[in-house]
Structure 1
Amino acid sequence: MNPTPAPEADGPATPQHRGQDRTAAPETAEATTVPRQKDVHRDDAEPLTPAAGPASGRAQGAPDALDDPDPLRAADAAGTESLLRCWTRETGLARPDGDTLRIAFPASGTALLVPVRYWSATGAHRFGAPALESAPGAPPADAVTVAALIAREGGRSGTADLVARVADSVRHTAGFIEQRRRAPADPAGSGPFLTAEQALLLGHPLHPTPKSREGLSEAESRRYSPELHGSFPLHWFAVDRTLTATDSAWTEGGPATAEELLAPHAEGLTRPPGTVAVPVHPWQAADLLHRPQVRALADAGLLHDLGPHGEQWHPTSSIRTVHRPGARVMLKLSLGVRITNSRRENLRKELHRGVEVHRLLSTGLAEQWRREHPGFDIVRDPAWIAVDDPEGDHVTGLDVMLRHNPFGPYDDAACVAGLTAQRPRPEEPALRSRLAEAVARLATRTGHTSHDISAEWFRRYLDHVVRPVLWLDAHAGVALEAHQQNTLVVLDPDGWPAGGRYRDNQGYYFRDSRRAELERRLPGIGAVSDTFVSDPVTDERFAYYLGINNVLGLIGAFGAQRLGDEQELLTVLRQFLTENAELGSSLPGYLLENRQLRCKANLMTRLHGLDELVGPVDTQSVYVTIANPLYS
């Protein structure tokens, strides 16, 4: 199938490390199946219910629980499915012979009987409501019950924490669904970029607590959540100039310091002489004033609380990075709320890393890269400002990183997670993704099937988004932590992929084997940013973030939303990797030749109580071994 090619995008080309890990899959978990008389096809991506046509992307038969009229029941179904997907992947449960998966929990003396609506080769399974085998006739097990069973089986001290955070995640999700059903249309002036950033109502499909935000009240959640179209003015502090730490390599529109870039947004503020205005997230401002280090600065007259000021800013998918359409900058703020697995406060080495990567690309590497891949670039993080106390110690959480804002109001750039996220659309309360809409529209326009459109869309995505990331690894020794939330795809007017961007000042791996080459490009590189990582760890992490999370996750979204056939898409991916095996990156061979892959285990990481931004690279997350669906 070869739909009519769309023209290339003409836009400009500037639109967390994890190391050796712990494997923690409990040995007590087992999966058996309830026999079913009717035979089931054995293709690993074959739905266990009939697929609908491209217009809906939904299964025929039983209604989807995610569309339940009660927002809390819909949110609980989403939370339960996420937990079951995590447990299935992280304990290596096999596909059942029938349409019911039995998951035994010996520590609790029971088992769950889980209807399988769709079994995915890439882990994007769809499950129905689980029933407790030991309580026939009882209501289905809800997300909190499933979390308690899993936590007890894991044998970890984090049982209460997991259960509480699952409940918190479900509560937030219910609020998001309820509000967006009432007002599904995006606010005027949002633009495609912000619309995608605010689309993740259900969150990461393979995370146990995707919408947990420990520390936010109901009112704060309404104000600060992208899913609720939240917005707020920044909160400002005046800090004695002698205490500010800053760096800038900003060149977009002319050189500028962090203070100069912030000045338009601080206009009208009255501050004491000899001070610098530093913006923070309003939630963070209230928290900071209770911290002894910050309180001491205020008592000494070195820090002044100026309060909220200025225009409304909009939270993006990361919650703490804020966007204002038309502004020159986006701001990555510190936020001490525990979101998914971590408190989201900037580390000083990450601030240095963003500037360092911009300087590295400015050595001529970016120009060379753009000649090969003119539609792809990194969204730069070239300036920051932070605060040290009089003893020279960092004041954690009082800082801001300044990011290029390369997207105009009509630039159709969407993070992949937002593109695949299911949410209500105007006049359609059922959850549906923009990816499903694009496939349906292209199928109607071209007369091709949704499966053929999905395969062609995926081919173009690999060419325009994945190939440039492989090029940077091959030619510079820099691997990107390109998971779906960090990866933006630029779409042409018809909805085909035409380019891409990467964004995140945390997620870079400088290969140890390329240290001398990178040092020649930029003397002193990595000394402060702590970005060099051994090649084996880089290979493993690169394979997870770009290979499993991003590309296989995209295949799973096509399959689970009944848009394309996973086995066909895996064939497209194998062909792409084979064709690019000689490019110079080790990733194509790594993905093709390994029978098993190492995969981040979000559930086990949560059970271990790990903060993924704290500690050595090799112990920040739990990783498990999974079967590689590409291996043949």
Structure 2
Amino acid sequence: MDRVDFTPPGDDTAERADAYATAPLLNCLLREVAEPLSDPGERHVYRLPGTGRLLRVRGTRRPAGPEVYTDGGWHHLGHSELVKLVADELRRHTGVSNHELPAEMTDSRDTVAALLTARDGATAPDDPYLRSEQSLITGHPYHPAPKARGGGPVAGWLPYAPEAYARFPLVLLGLREDAIVEEGDVSALDALGEAPAGYRLLPAHPWQLDLVGAGLADAFADGRLIRLGTTATEVRPTAAIRTVYLPGAAERAEDLFLKFSLDVRITNDVRRLWRHDLLKLRRTDAAVRDAFAAMGGPGAWLSDRGYRTADFAFEELAVMVRDGLHDHLLPGTTPLLAAGLVEGFEGSPLDGGADPGAWWEAYLRQVVPPALTAFADHGVVLEAHVQNTLVAVDADGMPVQALYRDAEGVKLLTDVERGAGWERLVYCLVVNHLVEVAGVLAERHPGLDPWPAVRAEFRRHDLPEVAALLASPTLPGKTNLLLRWTGADGADARYLPLPSPLVEPVAG
């Protein structure tokens, strides 16, 4: 079985952190740069074209144990040595130097070490939904620095880290009414506390305020902003870090999500709520809501209802209001983050005794139709990867509903060419979602081939693109390592062809 054990003898935190950080970095290097050679044994051997070095690893889905061939033998690489090897290879391979990304790779590994230490002394939430959101120690499996937190001190970000099972109150600010900018339905914000006459409530993420820092001094001094304490209810950060979950409470019946700006680079982007995204939010979200309403269920969309911010700090203080879960869930079901199913958490239905083939067919029947129907019938391209997809399961752990989120990542075919929109959907839904969940199932159940069921599910949908997808020998894979090394914009997706498991095997 191709399953990496991230708990070495002695449970050494440094070794565990190395293992967690090494797997996604190797995934990027092997996907985007390395050339596979003949594979005579348990380890897979690759040539690095820039330096000519030979590299070998164990496993494929989460590669481990990297070794480089030097001085007539194979030598193990720790994470720091791997970072140096990757940087040297990329300088020669691309002709471009980059001092920022190696530092992010190291920051990502050090973040993992801090998270592992914190988790050892923390208690996981009782709610399986929250456990699934807060389970992502590896994070994006194809990013060179998935857990980087901007290089800041651990004390600055650890209290707000979902992976450390964080929970905390939000800071409540009063924003003078003449400085408010808002759009959509943000009435839920006013239920979080009380503001004095002439002010409206503006919740803020504590880390957000720390990052903005002295930039707000004048606004506090002249009264455009005032401090009003904190929320009565603690929030839980979700896998997205800057998005938090507010469970329902006596003073506020509905549950709710709030999304904030954070001036920190996480994976490819600085996680601000950018002005241009906020200004198109209502149009995009309305298109997705209309699409899901027309489908009539059971799939659901968590609407990004609107935003509130300050005219003098439009992006820095922006907060977005998102639907909670309970008004959308089928009765008696439990929502789980798809990325959590891949990573693993206590109580995952993949740890149960359900027939894996039946479970997988049920999963596909929930997650694939909404994404394809939104595209085909409504011109909506969902960002349907594992971190934006929730799957509700019944009491037996069987998938019965899919819920999607994040209007910021949605594209509309009125704005992008259809071929580009389809490529993005295939990358998100197939490469960044189905491939990952299928990989876990195949790893746990070596006799299971998950791909006939995927082909069958896609064939149920009458899209002209489906036949070409099922016949294509390749799928689009995003080049996160090369994108970051060459300094491309985080939203500038560039794809390389990956072997497609969707192709029907040749008989005989």
On whether the aligned pair clears a TM of 0.5, the verdict is yes
2:56 aligned counterpart, secondary structure: strand
- Which of 106, 124, 127 is the equivalent residue of 2:63? 127
1:311 aligned counterpart, secondary structure: coil
1:233 aligned counterpart, secondary structure: coil
Change (3 A) 1:106 1:478: closer
Report the alpha carbon displacement of residue 494 of structure 1 after superposing the two structures with TM. 0.7
Instruction: Kindly report which structure 2 residues correspond to 1:127-526, keeping only aligned pairs within 5 A, or say none.
Output: 127-134=63-70, 140-155=76-91, 157=96, 159-183=98-122, 186-188=124-126, 191-248=127-184, 257-258=185-186, 260-267=187-194, 271=196, 273-291=197-215, 294-306=216-228, 308-326=230-248, 327-360=254-287, 365-370=291-296, 374-389=297-312, 395-407=314-326, 411-422=333-344, 425=346, 434-438=348-352, 441-442=353-354, 453-512=355-414
Computing the radius of gyration from Cα coordinates, the structure with the larger value is: 1
1:310 aligned counterpart, secondary structure: coil
Change (3 A) 1:605 1:225: same
Counterpart amino acid of residue 438 in structure 2:
I
Report the alpha carbon displacement of residue 182 of structure 1 after superposing the two structures with TM. 4.7
Q: Under a length normalisation based on structure 2, what TM-score does the superposition of the two structures give?
A: 0.88
Change (3 A) 1:289 1:74: closer
Report the alpha carbon displacement of residue 353 of structure 1 after superposing the two structures with TM. 4.2
Report the alpha carbon displacement of residue 140 of structure 1 after superposing the two structures with TM. 1.8
Change (3 A) 1:473 1:107: closer
Change (3 A) 1:357 1:132: closer
Report the alpha carbon displacement of residue 106 of structure 1 after superposing the two structures with TM. 5.8
Report the alpha carbon displacement of residue 321 of structure 1 after superposing the two structures with TM. 0.4
- 1:254 maps to none
1:129 aligned counterpart, secondary structure: strand
- Which of 490, 495, 498 is the equivalent residue of 1:626? 498
Report the alpha carbon displacement of residue 90 of structure 1 after superposing the two structures with TM. 1.5
Report the alpha carbon displacement of residue 261 of structure 1 after superposing the two structures with TM. 1.2
Residue 540 of structure 1 pairs with residue 423 of structure 2:
yes
State the distance in 1 between where 2:221 and 2:121 align. 47
State the distance in 2 between where 1:474 and 1:544 align. 16
- Residues 35 and 47 in structure 2, CA contact (< 8 A), matched pair in contact too: no
Counterpart amino acid of residue 273 in structure 2:
N
1:395 aligned counterpart, secondary structure: coil
Report the alpha carbon displacement of residue 308 of structure 1 after superposing the two structures with TM. 4.1
**Per-residue Cα deviation, 1:130-185 (whole angstroms, up to 9, x for no partner):** 223115678620122212212222226554322221221112212323343455x5
- Structure 2: which 5+ residue stretches go unaligned? 249-253
- 2:251 maps to none
Report the alpha carbon displacement of residue 610 of structure 1 after superposing the two structures with TM. 3.7
Instruction: Kindly report which structure 2 residues correspond to 1:566-581, keeping only aligned pairs within 5 A, or say none.
Output: 568-580=449-461
Q: Which has the higher contact order (CA 8 A, sep 6+)?
A: 1
2:270 aligned counterpart, secondary structure: strand
- 1:84 maps to 26
State the distance in 2 between where 1:387 and 1:375 align. 37
- Residues 243 and 257 in structure 2, CA contact (< 8 A), matched pair in contact too: yes
**Per-residue Cα deviation, 1:205-260 (whole angstroms, up to 9, x for no partner):** 22211211114422233311111111222123322212211122xxxxxxxx42x3
Residue 562 of structure 1 pairs with residue 441 of structure 2:
no
Change (3 A) 1:352 1:557: farther
- 2:56 maps to 113
**Per-residue Cα deviation, 1:453-493 (whole angstroms, up to 9, x for no partner):** 22221111111111122112121111201000001111111
- Residues 292 and 299 in structure 2, CA contact (< 8 A), matched pair in contact too: no
2:318 aligned counterpart, secondary structure: strand
- Residues 454 and 564 in structure 1, CA contact (< 8 A), matched pair in contact too: no
Change (3 A) 1:230 1:164: same
**Alignment identity in percent?**
29
State the distance in 2 between where 1:622 and 1:100 align. 29
Report the alpha carbon displacement of residue 554 of structure 1 after superposing the two structures with TM. 1.5
Change (3 A) 1:171 1:247: same
- Structure 1: which 5+ residue stretches go unaligned? 1-46, 50-57, 249-256, 426-432, 443-452, 513-531, 614-619
Change (3 A) 1:565 1:457: same
Report the alpha carbon displacement of residue 298 of structure 1 after superposing the two structures with TM. 4.0
Counterpart amino acid of residue 212 in structure 1:
A
Residue 598 of structure 1 pairs with residue 481 of structure 2:
no
**Per-residue Cα deviation, 1:326-356 (whole angstroms, up to 9, x for no partner):** 1532101111111112111112343344433
